[in-house]
Amino acid sequence: MILPRSFYARDTVQVAKELLGCYLVNETPQGTISGKIVETEAYLGQIDEAAHAFKGERPHTTALFQSPGTLYVYFTYGMHYCANVVTNREGLGEAVLLRAVEPIRGIDLMRQRRAVAKGTLLTNGPAKLVQAFGITIDQNGSDATQPPTYFTSPPTHDHYPLTDEEIVTTTRIGISKAKDLPLRYYIKNNPYISKTT
């Protein structure tokens, strides 16, 4: 079942935690790709110095200020893309960054897009999963509550929701500002989380 807009229209930290265990799906012309979300980071807009929305709305951050459930895809380091979902309320600039997923469907397609990667290296980082799923800057501003790119709740046989015991909370990585905020979440003992510190 596709997660409705009301799922995202809540406290950003809450959404970041509950996205763990949910599924990311991208329907491409070549086939459907899906994966289980195992690692996220919260970015708190105008009170969070590390957030792209911190300095207010800019031409390249307009998607961050749209309705909850909107995708925000950005380009960084001259060669990489990362994907977020807008959360809380329209106009706040809050979002959750997808840091890692566990491949479920379309693994062959992921391998084609990431020929260099083997094993867990396929999707264990924000730019890696974006590449494996075939997400590009074209998805910036698109609506993640309907196809082709969207999130679903876990299948009924999955263990969900996760307990606090199974969610590890730690500081964010890869950034230079506000690094001490405990806004990174991942599923304990899952081999697909990114390890960089």
Partner DNA sequence: GACCAGATTGTCT
Partner DNA sequence: GACAATCTGGTCA
**Using the rule CB under 7 A, is 178 a contact of DNA?**
no
In the bound state with DNA, the residue whose beta carbon lies nearer, of 52 and 106, is 52
Beta carbons within 8 Å of 18's beta carbon, 6+ residues apart:
7, 161
Map residues 97-136 to x or -, x wherever contact with DNA holds by CB under 7 A: x----------------x-xx---x---xxxx--------
Query: Does residue 58 touch DNA according to CB under 7 A?
Result: yes
CA distance 92 to 185: 21
Interaction between residue 53 and DNA (CB under 7 A) = yes
Q: Can you point out the beta strands (E) in the chain?
A: 23-28, 31-44, 71-76, 80-86, 94-105, 149-152, 167-170, 184-187
Applying CB under 7 A, which part among 15-23, 77-85, 140-148, 180-188 lies near DNA?
Answer: 77-85
Stretch 140-169 residues interacting with DNA (CB under 7 A): none
Write the CB contacts of 105 (distance below 8 Å, at least 6 apart in sequence).
32, 33, 34, 35
Kindly state the tokens that stand for 84.
């977020």
Q: Cβ–Cβ contacts within 10 Å for residue 147, how many?
A: 12
- Is residue 158 within 8 Å of 138, Cβ to Cβ? no
* Closer CB to DNA, 112 or 158, in the complex: 112
- Least distance from DNA to the Cβ atom of residue 156, Å: 31
Q: Does 184 bind DNA (CB under 7 A)?
A: no
**CA separation for the pair 38, 85 (Å, rounded):** 15
Q: Does 9 bind DNA (CB under 7 A)?
A: no
- Which range in 44-52, 104-112, 143-151, 154-162 contacts DNA by CB under 7 A? 44-52
* Residues at the interface with DNA (CB under 7 A): 41, 43, 50-53, 55, 58-60, 64, 72, 74-80, 82, 84, 95, 97, 114, 116-117, 121, 125-128, 172-177, 194, 196
